[in-house]
A and B are shown apart, each in its own frame.
Chain A
């Protein structure tokens, strides 16, 4: 695994800036686990001990055990970095420590297996490439003409919407929205490779970089200028990670489906035809809101639906609660995911919403499970599915 200088921060220098205020204790996994070894402030302490030359070698084994355990108990929700009063780039630090753990051969088997699956099959499920567009068959859609055609807009479906039965409605909804608005677009089809998000999250740098290059080549080949996605993970990868690793070569405009819908509504290319009577709330996905600062478009397009009854969750926007499913935590500690998720489910219950709208497949899956477990009568859908309903498709 290689690394790039711009990608890296000087860990010891960054750790030094911590003023020990403890605000990062809002960390959703620390809140559940309680030990200060999981407190981001405590993780920084461990990082210092691990990387400092003055630490005795014989202690480093012990230190690394606790440090790597803590670093993989993180959902990468960015709540810590968001609140950090010293502006420490905590997420970059967490990524670097994950890389260090990979280098030392300390990834757990589930994580390693995911990594290998993505590396070998270019999707997170390890499924054949030629099944990438099978979601279209399931939705009775024909995508042959759209696949690999030249167009300035590309819809990047993402692994979850492409392969997961639970997400099958998401891709179909996006396509219906685009068709309804008569937008010319293309999809990469079999040549769509995982955006690399899970690999980057696990700290896998060079594999992720080869994915980024492949996807960029594909977009360039088709003359793509803008990409739309309904997946918060892909969106983050395109918005934040690709520019970091591809530099100026990455000159494409990236849109979340909510941003594109807002634009299409404004241009009157899209019109709502149906009222939606159920009370709606929106769970800000961490990767949209804290990582990319995407806050208003989802709310704007929901609030424009005729007859809508919308209310934010008590913790919303930058302060939104994490669903627990990010950072590959599911592969490390499924119980912890459920614990973190239960806090969000409490807020959903409090909101009395009948539909919880979301913009991230990971959140969607985690929230659906949480709602089911709590026995709530709440529908959990992607924002693309909601818009599809509102335009009468």
Chain B
């Protein structure tokens, strides 16, 4: 960053800006640690980090950034593994965790107005005290923020019943890259920010729909094959579940190893249902058992169910024994993905672990973990990463797509959200951020740093396909 530019920011921000070596390193990574080789593609070390306290601070930051053409990278929990919250090529990371706001719960409307930086577990605790609950939340419940989830384009527990977070937003306040503070109420405009990865500005306030806090009861089943699992996912929608979460056989083995379980090496699904009364539970139980039998599954032994469900926020712990790991995520259609899922599960000598969550009547998300058993070279890790990438991109043939764009999947927005939405996004982006200062390199594929004739998407795709 030029000295003059730096001085401008420092003069305005003072102690709200950090530039020391440690801070720059910490803010140069997110949940997944990229191999050093990727430094050829990205320079994710920022020039500085800013901790704004309110929308006005952000307004000023954007104005200065536009004036000096400085990339602005919003970051909240830093818990995604898609590179959305790290720089593509330097710039200033805006740490949104300083955006506090008093919580406003409106019981009649069943809404909550909150700061974007609130962590889900904290928000849920406050809602529960008043008898309410979030409609859906990610399994990074203890570390993810509401603003980060919206921008990442998240789905999660509860999405099958209440939709993705975008379906729950009533109003969203954003500081646009042109410095305007704007509130959006219309679904069409709110949708723009879902999966926008901070490219359309910084979310500063959110009004979300909430629901009554109805107790959740868990039920479990197993399916021997992806075909049966898919049949099960379809049938299960009939029982109006709150969440349908499943593990692939190698993730089940990891549970067996860690907990001394003796679960069959098949697909294990845990279904969560809102149930208020004992009689309701009894009736549901019968209905559930019949549904599973119809789909060709077996009922899971009760004693495992609660334990597995209670571990739903902690499954990353199963990776702690390994010196390294890789993660990725894809969204797949129920109708056409059985074969693909079987193939995926067989990759890397069957060591690819997967967890799925039903997110709509037609699709499920699949989180993939590849534990790396021995320390490997940076080069090998990059190859593995590209290999996983290749398979995620292959899902296009059966109607699948990457979970989010971020940096790693920049250029796949239209595949994820559709062409119409992409057009809407592009027009809006051009209007509010003509100089592309808000999180450049994300959502739309950037030009290569050292070879601007090529785009990053092309290079990553080619490298993946060559493997």
Contact = CB atoms under 8 A, between A and B. Distances in A.
Is this pair of chains taken from one and the same complex?
yes
Interface of A: 16-17, 19-23, 25-26, 34-37, 39, 42, 45-46, 49, 59, 62-63, 65-67, 83, 85-87, 314-315, 350
Give 9 closest A-B pairs by Cβ, nearest first.
A22-B143, A85-B317, A86-B320, A66-B22, A23-B142, A85-B314, A34-B97, A42-B26, A19-B316
B463 interface: no
Contacts of B313: 23
A37 B22 contact: yes
Nearest to B22: A66
Contacts of B30: 20
Contacts of A85: 314, 316-317, 320
Given A22-B143, A63-B22, A36 B314 contact: no
B97 A67 contact: no
B125 interface: yes
B256 interface: no
Nearest to B143: A22
Nearest to B119: A25
B31 A21 contact: yes
A101 B51 CA distance: 28
A52 to B, nearest CB: 12
Nearest to A65: B20
A20 B143 CA distance: 10
A370 to B, nearest CB: 19
A219 to B, nearest CB: 40
A65 B19 CA distance: 13
Nearest to B141: A23
Given A22-B31, A25-B119, A35 B95 contact: yes
B78 interface: yes
29 contacts: A19-B320, A19-B325, A20-B29, A20-B33, A20-B79, A21-B142, A22-B31, A22-B79, A22-B140, A22-B142, A25-B119, A25-B142, A35-B23, A36-B78, A36-B95, A37-B22, A37-B26, A45-B22, A46-B22, A46-B26, A49-B25, A59-B21, A62-B22, A63-B21, A66-B22, A66-B23, A85-B320, A87-B317, A314-B125
Which residue among B22, B51, B97, B119 has the maximum number of chain A CB atoms within 10 Å of its CB? B22
Nearest to B75: A36
A39 B30 CA distance: 13
Contacts of B144: 22
A35 B20 contact: no
Given A34-B98, A35-B49, A42-B26, A62 B119 contact: no
A172 B95 CA distance: 50
A204 B215 CA distance: 49
Contact of B129 (A42, A45, A65, A314): A314
Given A21-B79, A36-B23, A350-B129, 5 more contacts: A19-B320, A22-B143, A37-B18, A39-B26, A86-B316
Interface of B: 18, 20-23, 25-27, 29-33, 49, 51, 77-79, 95, 97-98, 119, 121, 125, 129, 140, 142-144, 313-314, 316-317, 319-320, 323, 325
Contact of A86 (B25, B26, B51, B317): B317
Nearest to A42: B26
Contact of B316 (A16, A21, A42, A59): A21
A86 B210 CA distance: 32
A25 B26 CA distance: 14
A21 B140 contact: yes
Nearest to A18: B320
A34 B57 CA distance: 16
B22 A49 contact: yes
B21 A35 contact: no
Contacts of A16: 323
A61 B442 CA distance: 35
Contacts of A67: 22
A15 to B, nearest CB: 12
A271 B51 CA distance: 56
Contacts of A49: 22, 25
Contacts of B121: 26
A87 B129 CA distance: 29
Nearest to B30: A20
Contacts of B320: 17, 19, 85-87
A20 B32 CA distance: 8
A100 to B, nearest CB: 15
Contacts of B22: 37, 45-46, 49, 62-63, 66-67
A45 B25 contact: yes
A66 B20 CA distance: 8
Nearest to B121: A26
A83 B317 CA distance: 11
B171 to A, nearest CB: 25
Q: Of B27, B29, B317, which is in contact with the most chain A CB atoms at under 10 Å from its CB?
A: B317
B89 to A, nearest CB: 21
A276 B51 CA distance: 48
Nearest to B21: A62
A32 to B, nearest CB: 10
A62 B22 CA distance: 7
A74 to B, nearest CB: 16
Contacts of B31: 20-22
A17 B325 CA distance: 11
B319 A25 contact: no
